[in-house]
Structure 1
Amino acid sequence: MQSEATVTVEPSGDPSEKAALRRELLAARAALTGRDTAAEDLARAALELDELAGASTVAAYVSVGREPGTRALLDALRARGVRVLLPVLLPDNDLDWAVYEGGEGLARAGRGLLEPTGPRLGPDAVCDADAVLLPGLAVDGRGMRLGRGGGSYDRVLARLGRAGARPALVVLLYANEVVARVPEEPHDHPVHAVVTPDGVTRFGPA
């Protein structure tokens, strides 16, 4: 299990507060140990979610750097017969999608990302997902998620809303990143659940 780090969070809608909090969270994440074990525990906890147990298509992502590891979870979902969609970053920071075909079907892309090499399905492909696994830096007791600030997943969530799609929204974090409150802006969307290596916390029905 990873070591704990404490992050102090004050509520605010000020973007500068978000930036300061992101720096603090990234520093705390850099100090964590035991990430391989944490990735295995994260996969085990996520696979117990009813929303994933009954899903035929899941939109996910490949973890990089100090993010909670997702590779074990991706492989387990694929072994179940789930169609796993992975993002491909577009020049305007929007996301295209392609099917995960295993580790051999991933290639290093810009910004240190690992992306699928298969046929692109278009940005709207995410609307077919039964569940969307979201990266982030923190989530609070209301289910409000703090992302990295690039805006890619804000576009994804807006696209889902326009399409009337209502997949389960699940953010993957370390246990210490579930906090009392994070800053929010009008475009921010709550998630339905957070999965950490310690287990699952739900915020509302999917």
Structure 2
Amino acid sequence: MNAGRKHDLRHVARARRREIAARMDAGARDAAARAVAEAVLRFVPDPGRVAVYESLPDEPPTGCLVAALLAAGHEVIVPVVLDDFSLEWRYAVPGAGADESTVRRPGRGGRTFRPDEREGWLGVDALAGCDLVVTPGLSVDAHGTRLGQGGGCYDRALRHREPGTPVVTLLHEGEQSTEDLPADPHDVPVDGYVTTTGRVVRLR
């Protein structure tokens, strides 16, 4: 039953996200990027390792966040989706966005990489050394239940983090859920979310 409800909720959430992104001009997107960066930086006052993701065009922008974290002395890692929906991790490159190697496509994994393409990557368990994990998501409810894209990549990856490491999801303002989202036993709740207005909501 949850699978069908999640499918319907994702359909609605993706349409809403497309509408929000379509209304944002370059100035609004730059303001959102700065607001997200300033808000997330408050979670990690001392230099450490932070896991982020390279945003797709309709997602809350993360390029400014990655640059700000690096400038503040943090080590930043970003995921690559493998064909089995596992997340490998590599060091962030300033200014990079998501491409065909990192994209999280609904219902599909990533691609298969040759061993030489994975040179210098950090493994699937790299979250174990993180001080903060920033995840994508379509919505989050008041209990920290996150509605992802459906591949389960992050629910599996988050099990590698150390207990107590905070996890926050980035949302456009208005994407947070006022109703409880369906949760399965394998779903990992998040500790809060940050919106594109810079609003920080701590849940757990």
Check whether TM > 0.5: yes
1:46 aligns with 2:36: no
1:174 aligns with 2:175: no
Indicate if the aligned counterparts of 1:55 and 1:130 stay in contact, CA closer than 8 A.
Answer: no
Instruction: Give the Cα separation in 1 of the matches to 2:152 and 2:73.
Output: 31
Deviation, structure 1 residue 107 = 7.6
Instruction: Give the Cα separation in 1 of the matches to 2:160 and 2:183.
Output: 19
User: Which residue does 1:109 correspond to in 2?
Assistant: 100
User: Which residue does 2:4 correspond to in 1?
Assistant: 16
Q: What fraction of aligned residue pairs are identical, expressed as a percent?
A: 36
Indicate if the aligned counterparts of 2:77 and 2:92 stay in contact, CA closer than 8 A.
Answer: yes
TM-score where L is the length of structure 1: 0.81
Cα distance 1:172–1:117, how it changes in 2: closer, same or farther (>3 A)?
farther
Local SS of the residue matching 1:103: coil
| Amino acid in structure 2 at the alignment position of 1:152 | C
TM-score where L is the length of structure 2: 0.82
1:138 aligns with 2:139: yes
Indicate if the aligned counterparts of 1:89 and 1:95 stay in contact, CA closer than 8 A.
Answer: yes
Deviation, structure 1 residue 39 = 2.1
| Amino acid in structure 2 at the alignment position of 1:137 | L
User: Which residue does 2:52 correspond to in 1?
Assistant: 60
Local SS of the residue matching 1:122: coil
The answer for unaligned runs of 5 or more in structure 1 is 1-12
User: Which residue does 1:201 correspond to in 2?
Assistant: 201
| Amino acid in structure 1 at the alignment position of 2:188 | H
RMSD: 2.2
Instruction: Give the Cα separation in 1 of the matches to 2:143 and 2:11.
Output: 22
| Amino acid in structure 2 at the alignment position of 1:28 | R
User: Which residue does 1:156 correspond to in 2?
Assistant: 157
Local SS of the residue matching 2:7: helix
Count of aligned pairs: 184
Q: 1:82-121 alignment to 2 at 5 Å?
A: 82-103=74-95, 108-110=99-101, 112=103, 119-121=120-122
Deviation, structure 1 residue 101 = 3.1
The answer for unaligned runs of 5 or more in structure 2 is 105-116
Deviation, structure 1 residue 148 = 0.6
Cα distance 1:40–1:133, how it changes in 2: closer, same or farther (>3 A)?
same
Cα distance 1:121–1:149, how it changes in 2: closer, same or farther (>3 A)?
same
Alignment partner of 2:68 out of 76, 80, 93: 76
Deviation, structure 1 residue 153 = 0.5
User: Which residue does 1:191 correspond to in 2?
Assistant: 190
Indicate if the aligned counterparts of 1:171 and 1:191 stay in contact, CA closer than 8 A.
Answer: yes
